[in-house]
Amino acid sequence: MTHPIDDIVARRDAAQDPPAGTPLGGETPTLVDIPQAELAAPHRAGDGLASTEVMHRGSARVGAATDSLAMLEARSISAWFGDRKVLDRVSLTMPAGQVTALIGPSGCGKSTFLRILNRMHELVPSAALAGEVLLDGRDIYDSSRRVTDARRQIGMVFQKPNPFPAMSIYDNVISGLRLTGIRAGRRELDDLVEECLIKAGLWKEVRDRLRQPGGALSGGQQQRLCIARSLAVRPRVLLMDEPCSALDPTSTRRIEETIAELVTEVTIVIVTHNMQQAARVSDECAFFLASQGTPGSIVEYGPTSAMFENPQDSRTYDYVHGRFG
Ligand SMILES: Nc1ncnc2c1ncn2[C@@H]1O[C@H](COP(=O)(O)OP(=O)(O)OP(=O)(O)O)[C@@H](O)[C@H]1O
C-alpha cells in the first residue's frame, strides 16, 4: 500500500507546473539580526516617510536554509481582481523576528495583501498585481525565483483549520515537507514531528496518539496542527489569516501563546479583526482602509503600542476604539 503522502507527491509530480501546497481540500496548505523598529510614533501613509524608507533594528534565528530571521518588505503593492483594483500602492516593512498585525474593516484588502506576500494571490485566475515583495532584500516575484521556494519560505495558516482529516497527526506534520520533495530518514522525521508539535504547543496533547487522524482533534488543536505543519518546512515567515476567528477563547489563548513563542524563530504577519488580539500579540501594526469604493491602502502603521495609545490619524483612533468597522 502506498503511503498517503506519497500519493500526494505522485500527484504533484504528475502535474505540469504545480503550485506548491496545492489545495487538497479546504484552504491551501502551503508549503535576523536586523534591527527592530523603535519608532517613536506611528506613521501616516504619505506623511513624508514612506514605509519602504523605514529602517528597523532587531534580533535573532531560523530554520535550515539560513540561521537568521527574515525581514519581509512590500513595496508599492497594487492588486486587482479583473478590472477592479483592490489595493493601491501599499508599502510595508515587516521587521524580522516581530509580529506585524494587519488590521482594518472588512473588504479593505488585508487578506489579499497577505496572499500577495507568498504568491497565493496569483492562484486566482482574474488576479493581477504590481509591486515587489522582498524577502531579505530579494524579490519573491523575480522571474528567476521559483514560486515553490517563495511558498516554502513564507508559510500560511488560514482562518479555518485545514489539516488533512483522514491523515494521521504525524503525517499531517510532515506532509508539507514531502510536498516540497525533501526526503528524510525515519529518525529525522520523528525528531522533526516532535520539534514542530512542541513549537506549535500541541506535543503534550498528542504525543501518545500520533497515528490518529488529524480530523479527530478539536478545532483549536487542528489549528495548532496546521501551525506545526507549516513549521516543518522551516519557513522564514509565517502568515496567519485570522487564525483564531473560528476558535473558542481558550484555544485562541493557546494560539496567541504559540505566536509569542514562535516569533523568536520566524517572522510573523497576522490579519486580525480582534483589536485586543492585535494589541496582545503584535509588535507592529498596519491599519488598512478602503473608503467609499476606493482600493485599500495603509492609513497608518508603526509600533502597536503607539498605534493604540497615540495614533496620528483620527481614522486609526476611531477604528482601534471600535467606532467603525
Ligand atoms: N477571489 C476574489 N475575486 C474577486 N474579488 C475578490 C476576491 N477576493 C477578494 N476580493 C475582493 O477584494 C477586496 C478585498 O478583499 P479582502 O478579502 O482582501 O479584504 P479583507 O480586508 O481581508 O476582508 P475581510 O476582513 O472581510 O476578510 C474585497 O472587495 C473583495 O470583495
Instruction: Say which CATH number the domain at 90 has.
Output: 3.40.50.300
75 inside domain? yes
Q: Which residues line ligand 1 (CB under 6 A)?
A: 81, 86, 104, 106-112, 124
Q: How far apart are CA 10 and CA 16, in angstroms?
A: 12
Ligand 1 centroid from CA 46, angstroms: 24
From the CB of residue 236, how many other CB atoms can be counted at a distance below 10 Å? 24
Q: What is the pLDDT of residue 23?
A: 27
128 inside domain? yes
pLDDT digits (tens, 9 = 90+) for 248-299: 999 899 899 999 999 999 999 999 999 999 999 999 999 999 988 899 999 9
Q: How far apart are CA 257 and CA 251, in angstroms?
A: 10
Ligand 1 centroid from CA 59, angstroms: 34
Residue nearest to atom 2 of ligand 1 (CA): 81
Ligand 1 centroid from CA 234, angstroms: 29
Taking the CA of residue 115 as reference, the ligand 1 atom at the shortest distance is 18
pLDDT digits (tens, 9 = 90+) for 36-66: 222 234 555 544 333 322 222 222 222 344 5
Ligand 1 centroid from CA 291, angstroms: 14
Q: What is the pLDDT of residue 79?
A: 98
307 inside domain? yes
pTM: 0.82
Closest CA to 238 of 119, 174, 156: 156
56 inside domain? no
Residue 22 to residues 13, 161, 210, 252, 312, Cα–Cα distance (Å): 12, 16, 24, 27, 42
Closest CA to 140 of 150, 131, 130: 150
ipTM above 0.90, yes or no: yes
Q: How far apart are CA 134 and CA 30, in angstroms?
A: 19
Q: How far apart are CA 110 and CA 273, in angstroms?
A: 10
Closest CA to 46 of 301, 294, 283, 293: 301
Q: What is the pLDDT of residue 38?
A: 26
Write down the mean pLDDT value for the chain: 82
* Angle value at C-alpha 96, between 175 and 250, nearest 5 degrees: 60
54 inside domain? no
Ligand 1 centroid from CA 314, angstroms: 24
Q: What is the pLDDT of residue 284?
A: 98
49 inside domain? no
**Number of separate domains in the chain:** 1
Q: What is the pLDDT of residue 45?
A: 57
Give the residue numbers spanning the domain of 286. Answer: 4-33+68-319
Q: What is the pLDDT of residue 42?
A: 54
Low-confidence residues in the chain, pLDDT < 50 = 1-41, 46-65
Q: How far apart are CA 3 and CA 9, in angstroms?
A: 10
63 inside domain? no
59 inside domain? no
Residue nearest to atom 8 of ligand 1 (CA): 112
Q: What is the pLDDT of residue 235?
A: 94
Q: What is the pLDDT of residue 268?
A: 98
Are 269 and 240 in contact by the 8 Å Cβ rule? The answer is yes
